[in-house]
A and B are shown apart, each in its own frame.
Chain A
Amino acid sequence: MAKAKIAFAYGVIFLIPLLGLWELHCVRQCCDKTAEYIDMAISRADTPASGDATDKAFEVWLSYEELLTSFVTHEKVDAVTAALSCAKAFFESGGGEEYLASLYEARMLVNIVRNFDKPTVRSVF
């Protein structure tokens, strides 16, 4: 039993960093995909293709939302969802400055989520 406990403890110590790396990969994958579509939407802001890119960004984000809330504080995930949903609404009501502003905000918030669990000197200490 004592040996099993020690083996379990070693298992936990090795598995948690592995799980952490997988988590980093998932968060990064989701954020990179979403950011790619947001960047596309920003660069084509005056065209109908921008709306499609915004829709796609929102779709990608929602598909990862459940998984993200298991690792990242819910406020940060919800903030991106809210910003993207605002961008969608602004595009449907004619686009313009507000649309672009909400896209930039979503882009910045996605970046924060992307780096949330990244082990850096700043995040560790």
Chain B
Amino acid sequence: MIVPFIRTLILYFVIIVAVRLMGKRQVGELQPGELVITILVSAVASVPVQDIAIPLSHGIVPILTLVAAEVVISSFSQKHIKFRRLLSGNPVLIIDDGQLIQSAINKLRLSIDDILASLRLGGVFDIRDVKRAQVETNGQISIMLSDKKLPATVGDLGIKPTPSGPFYTIISDGRVISDNLKSIEKDERWLKSTIKAAGADVPERVFFLCADKYGNTVFSKMEGSDG
């Protein structure tokens, strides 16, 4: 029992190193090659974990090789556009001025339902509102709205927006995160007056508080707290 435990821990750390080496991309953003590597790494790692008669090197070597190959190929494709296109393909236009491009849709073997679902997930319920939509190399559909359906921006309306910065969590589950308090350039005194104004006397009675450096806050009191 100890042997599989130790082997699993070793492989766990190898996979952590491998994933860190691959970078921070999320599953939804994986390019075809990266998806293949991710699936292969998990499959390769499980074999020496399950069978202790297989040398650990038979799991570690393929994992490191796969990830190293991925890093080398992605760095190479970063510099060579043709190679990148060969590896990842090109974005494909599927809607142009509200019209579906059937040849592209057939080539990608997409169903109309898939396209409509992606449009709906992108907040578009009428295909005529789409100026351009294309399937990106990672499989996601990007949508550009037609000019008349574009939302008005603050700049279009000529309004001076209320300043707001990035929000940081200041209190989470009754605990103050001091580093974030420093990030918004505020001190304990400001925190004390803010939570008092919101109806709580101590941070322990605050479930959630986030704020930006302009003093904008989002507050939620701890349930069952009467302070």
CB of A117 to closest CB in B, whole Å: 10
Chain A residues positioned under 8 Å from B117 (CB to CB): none
Q: Is residue B55 within 8 Å, beta carbon to beta carbon, of the partner chain?
A: yes
Stretch at the interface among B60-68, B137-145, B160-168, B191-199: B60-68
With the chains together, A12 CA to B61 CA distance in Å?
Answer: 9
Q: Is residue A125 within 8 Å, beta carbon to beta carbon, of the partner chain?
A: no
**A70-B64 contact, Cβ under 8 Å, with A5-B21, A5-B71, A9-B71:** no
Chain B residues positioned under 8 Å from A10 (CB to CB): 68, 72
CB closest residue in chain A, given B71: A9
CB closest residue in chain B, given A76: B53
Q: Is residue A47 within 8 Å, beta carbon to beta carbon, of the partner chain?
A: no
Most B Cβ at <10 Å: residue of A5, A69, A70, A74: A5
Cβ–Cβ contact A16 & B64, under 8 A: yes
Looking at chain B, what size class is its interface with the partner chain? 10 to 19
**A9-B55 contact, Cβ under 8 Å, with A16-B61, A16-B65:** no
Cβ–Cβ contact B21 & A9, under 8 A: yes
Q: Is residue A97 within 8 Å, beta carbon to beta carbon, of the partner chain?
A: no
Chain A residues positioned under 8 Å from B56 (CB to CB): 70
The number of A-B residue pairs with CB atoms under 8 Å apart is 48
CB of A5 to closest CB in B, whole Å: 6
Q: Is residue A71 within 8 Å, beta carbon to beta carbon, of the partner chain?
A: yes
Which residues 63-107 of B have a CB within 8 angstroms of A?
64-65, 67-72, 75
CB closest residue in chain B, given A69: B55
CB closest residue in chain B, given A8: B21
With the chains together, A84 CA to B65 CA distance in Å?
Answer: 36
The residue from B52, B57, B65, B70 contacting A70, defined by CB atoms under 8 A apart: B57
Chain B residues positioned under 8 Å from A73 (CB to CB): 53-55, 58
Chain A contact residues, majority secondary structure: helix
With the chains together, A9 CA to B72 CA distance in Å?
Answer: 6
Q: Is residue A72 within 8 Å, beta carbon to beta carbon, of the partner chain?
A: yes
CB closest residue in chain B, given A23: B57
With the chains together, A22 CA to B61 CA distance in Å?
Answer: 14
Cβ–Cβ contact A13 & B55, under 8 A: no
Q: Is residue A6 within 8 Å, beta carbon to beta carbon, of the partner chain?
A: yes
Chain B residues positioned under 8 Å from A13 (CB to CB): 65, 68-69, 72
With the chains together, A16 CA to B61 CA distance in Å?
Answer: 7
The residue from A8, A12, A70 contacting B55, defined by CB atoms under 8 A apart: A70
With the chains together, A122 CA to B65 CA distance in Å?
Answer: 21
Q: Is residue A92 within 8 Å, beta carbon to beta carbon, of the partner chain?
A: no
Cβ–Cβ contact A6 & B72, under 8 A: yes
Which residues 11-66 of B have a CB within 8 angstroms of A?
21, 52-58, 61, 64-65
Chain B residues positioned under 8 Å from A70 (CB to CB): 55-57
Chain A residues positioned under 8 Å from B72 (CB to CB): 6, 9-10, 13
Chain B residues positioned under 8 Å from A9 (CB to CB): 21, 67-72, 75
CB closest residue in chain B, given A75: B53
Which residues 80-116 of A have a CB within 8 angstroms of B?
none
CB closest residue in chain A, given B55: A70
Question: Which A residues are within 8 Å of any B CB, using their own CB?
Answer: 2, 5-6, 8-13, 16, 19, 69-75
The 5 closest A-B pairs by CB, nearest first: A9-B71, A12-B68, A9-B68, A74-B53, A6-B75
Question: Which B residues are within 8 Å of any A CB, using their own CB?
Answer: 21, 52-58, 61, 64-65, 67-72, 75
